[in-house]
Amino acid sequence: MPSPPTDTFNQESGSRRGLDEFRKREILAILSVGCSRRTAARYVGCSPSTIRRTAERDPEFAEALHKAETKAQILFMKNIAAAARKEQYWRAAAWALERLNPEDYGPRSPQAVTLEQIRTLISEFARIIVEEVPIASHRKRILKRLDRLGAQWRDEGETHDPGEPSED
Ordered structural domains, the chain, with CATH? 8-105 (1.10.10), 108-168 (no CATH)
CB-count burial class (<10 Å; 0-12, 13-18, 19+) for 18: buried
Higher pLDDT, 1 or 72: 72
Q: Count of alpha carbons within 13 Å of 34, Cβ hemisphere only? A: 7
pLDDT at residue 97 is higher than 50: yes
> What's the mean pLDDT in 108-112?
80
pLDDT band of residue 19 (cuts 50, 70, 90) is very high
How far apart CA 64 and CA 19 sit, in angstroms, is: 14
> What's the mean pLDDT in 31-53?
94
Give pLDDT, residue 23: 97
Give pLDDT, residue 154: 64
pLDDT band of residue 47 (cuts 50, 70, 90) is very high
pLDDT band of residue 1 (cuts 50, 70, 90) is very low
